[in-house]
Amino acid sequence: MRNSGLRVILGTGGTIAGKASRPGDNVGYVAGQVKVEDLLAGVPALQGVPMEVEQVDQIDSKDMHLGVWQRLLARLAHHLAREDVSGVVVTHGTDTIEETAYLVHSVLRPSKPVVFTCAMRPATALVPDGPQNLLDAVTVAGHPQAQGVVVVCAGQVHAAEHLAKVHSYRTDAFDSGDAGPLASVEEGQLRWHHGVEGVSAQAPDNGLLQRLLQAEALPRVELVTSHAGADGGVVRAMLRAGASDTSLWPQGIVVAATGNGTVHRDLAQALSEAMAKGVRVVRATRCARGRVIPDPANPIPDSAGLSPVKARLALALALLGP
């Protein structure tokens, strides 16, 4: 484990910083109430670890928006550029952690570890899970082999590309699908299952970072689902609304398709009409596991293995342009 080097802890709120009016309440709490320095003070094992703490925001992650992402990206870029910083930990809510982690992975592509962590129980729970997750995250951020954007929860280390929240209540709410977790944290030690080769290494795109930081809004990319009886009415309604108000015009649409990217024929017709009007359309699968296998004959391109919510972000970033 990397014992030297400063670790920066950035707080954004979430359940890990939540408070309830009674200790036994793991549902009726308010997220984003406890300062990140107070969370750290509640983990005695972190005493003596060289750390800097910064509160970026205090938000329930279900309400995540571009402004928070911009502040977080700016602070991450600043700290990662410092020679004395070995890694960064970000505390975040579970609802959209997979989206934020994927965004940071796509934009910053850091060689140093950026470790997101979270909790499924508030800080006031009888047995909160946040302190152990936070300790594990700081451990990963200091490991000499750690790199890139990962998420640490319930003793598992997940790559940002593969992570998905798969349970609404359990403390082990995350899964990496067919890829599986990168590693496990066991009594302060990392046991690698795949190693760091499971984290894509790419050169950073500084131009994309600047375009995102300067954007007033992300390009409008909507998410629709293919299901029994899907008639394409939602897509056509968006096109009609955009015809009279250009701010409502979708620049892209991601369809959460059935199975291996199959789309109800009536919805497919509406998506073809959207594509004819210049709207970018991408197919992902609504299945919890697996991916859309590329089919060159299908006029709607696949999501390259991304889940619907991550495909939406990837398309929005692509639409920001060079």
- Residue 155, SS3 per DSSP: coil
Asked if pLDDT for residue 251 goes beyond 70, the answer is: yes
Cα–Cα–Cα angle for 33, 112, 167, rounded to 5 degrees = 45
First vs last C-alpha separation in the chain: 39
DSSP E strand boundaries for 237-297: 252-257, 280-285
Distance CA 204, CA 222 (A): 27
> pLDDT tens digits, residue range 226-241?
999 999 999 999 999 9
Mean pLDDT score across all residues of the chain = 95
User: Residue 198 carries which DSSP code?
Assistant: G
Task: Show the tokens assigned to 265.
Answer: 């024929």
Q: What element of type H or E holds 13? A: strand 6-13
Which residues contact residue 95 at a Cβ distance below 8 angstroms, ignoring those fewer than 6 apart?
60, 61, 62, 64, 165
Q: Does residue 151 contact residue 119 with C-beta atoms inside 8 Å? A: no
> How far is residue 131's CA from residue 147's CA, in Å, rounded to a whole number?
22
Residue 268 neighbours by CB under 8 Å, 6+ apart: 232, 300
The 10 Å Cβ neighbour count of residue 54 is 14
Show the tokens assigned to 262: 């199959």
Q: What is the DSSP letter of 39?
A: H
* Residue keyed to tokens 């990168």: 182
Catalytic residue positions? Answer: 15
Bridge partners (DSSP) listed for residue 183: 157, 192
- Rounding to the nearest 10 degrees, give the CA dihedral for residues 9, 10, 12, 13: 20
Percent of the chain with pLDDT over 90: 92
Percent of the chain scored above 70 by pLDDT?
96
* DSSP 3-state of 217: coil
Q: C-alpha distances in angstroms, 136 versus 45, 150, 215?
A: 10, 12, 34
Position 320 confidence tier, pLDDT thresholds 50, 70, 90: very high
Rg (CA), the chain: 20
The lowest-confidence range among 179-183, 194-198, 256-260, 306-310 is 194-198
Q: At what angle do helices 265-276 and 233-244 cross, to 10 degrees?
A: 20
Residue 87 has pLDDT above 80, yes or no: yes
Distance separating alpha carbons of residues 163 and 181, to the nearest angstrom: 8
Q: What is the DSSP letter of 302?
A: B
From residue 223, give the alpha-carbon distance in Å to each of 24, 151, 158, 307: 36, 24, 25, 11
Model's pTM, two decimal places? 0.95
Which domains, from first to last, does the chain contain? 6-198 (3.40.50.1170), 220-319 (3.40.50.40)
* pLDDT score, position 23: 81
Cβ-contact 200, 182 below 8 angstroms: no
Rounded (10°) angle between helices 66-80 and 206-214: 140
Q: pLDDT by residue (tens digit) across 174-220?
A: 999 999 999 999 999 999 998 665 565 577 788 999 999 999 999 99
- In whole angstroms, what is the distance from residue 234 CA to residue 278 CA? 17
